[in-house]
């Protein structure tokens, strides 16, 4: 089977680790200080459930509660990764605002989406419990993961989970 082309956008408040997660997934390394204003599209081949994928990953420059949802991220994107940091209550609020705008602009009631609480290695500074994250994702009918880009904890799972969510939305549900 030829690889399926999938385009994914990673969004969230500034400094939550969007670029770190992207680079960890694509290059397998943790880059400590990546220019926060850079917006990049990475390409990565991966395989889930015997299906090959070519993933285009759009690492957005970040949003806050006042950002207008960028229209270029509302079209030809198959799925979204919404990231907050478990150390930042603000980033948890912002992710909810982004979600509302996303549904507004796409006009859909359900978009393939994974909610990610990043920076689990900073557990001493934790502000958002796992339960809070899970509850929010449940209310969206979305998948939920906690990750550490720094320790490469559950990073690939984000993208594999999202690819499965995208398949479900396509009506090609593949049970393992």
- Least distance to Mg ion from the beta carbon of 19, Å? 3
**Chosen from ligand GDP, Mg ion, none, partner binding at 6 (C-beta under 5 to 8 Å by type):** none
Nearer to ligand GDP, 95 or 167 (CB): 95
| 100 three-class SS | helix
**Locate tokens 């670029």: which residue?**
19
Q: Put residue 99 in one of left, alpha, beta given phi > 0 → left and psi -120 to 50 → alpha.
A: alpha
How far apart (Å, rounded) are the C-alpha atoms in residues 135 and 4? 32
| 72 three-class SS | helix
Indicate whether 122 belongs to the interface with ligand GDP (CB under 6 A): yes
**Chosen from ligand GDP, Mg ion, none, partner binding at 119 (C-beta under 5 to 8 Å by type):** ligand GDP
- 133's CB contacts (< 8 A; 6+ apart) are 84, 86, 92, 115, 117, 144, 146
Nearer to ligand GDP, 32 or 76 (CB): 32
- Least distance to Mg ion from the beta carbon of 36, Å? 5
Q: Put residue 20 in one of left, alpha, beta given phi > 0 → left and psi -120 to 50 → alpha.
A: alpha
Q: Tell whether the torsion through CA atoms of 131, 58, 43 and 45 is positive or negative.
A: positive
Half-sphere exposure of 79 (CA within 13 A, CB side): 24
Residues 99-118 that bind ligand GDP (CB under 6 A): 118
Indicate whether 126 belongs to the interface with ligand GDP (CB under 6 A): no
Residues 18-37 that bind Mg ion (CB under 5 A): 18-19, 36
Question: How many residues belong to the site for ligand GDP (CB under 6 A)?
Answer: 19
Residues 137-176 that bind ligand GDP (CB under 6 A): 148-150
**Chosen from ligand GDP, Mg ion, none, partner binding at 161 (C-beta under 5 to 8 Å by type):** none
Indicate whether 26 belongs to the interface with ligand GDP (CB under 6 A): no
Give me the residues that bind ligand GDP (CB under 6 A), please: 14-20, 32-34, 36, 62, 118-119, 121-122, 148-150
């Amino acid at each position: 089977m030829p690889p399926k082309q999938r385009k994914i956008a990673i969004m969230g408040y500034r400094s939550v680790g969007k670029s770190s997660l992207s680079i960890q997934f694509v290059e397998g390394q943790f880059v400590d200080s990546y220019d926060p204003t850079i917006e990049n599209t990475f390409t990565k081949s991966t395989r889930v459930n015997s299906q090959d994928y070519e993933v285009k990953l759009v690492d957005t420059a970040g949003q806050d509660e006042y950002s207008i949802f960028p229209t270029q991220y509302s079209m030809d994107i198959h799925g979204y990764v919404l990231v907050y940091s478990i150390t930042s209550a603000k980033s948890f609020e912002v992710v909810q605002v982004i979600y509302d705008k996303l549904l507004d602009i796409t006009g859909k009631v359900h978009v393939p989406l994974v909610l990610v609480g990043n920076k689990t290695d900073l557990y001493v500074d934790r502000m958002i419990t796992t339960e809070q994250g899970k509850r929010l994702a449940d209310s969206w009918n979305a998948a939920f993961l906690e990750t550490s880009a720094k320790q490469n904890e559950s990073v690939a799972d984000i993208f594999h989970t999202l690819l499965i969510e995208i398949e479900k939305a396509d009506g090609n549900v593949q049970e393992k």
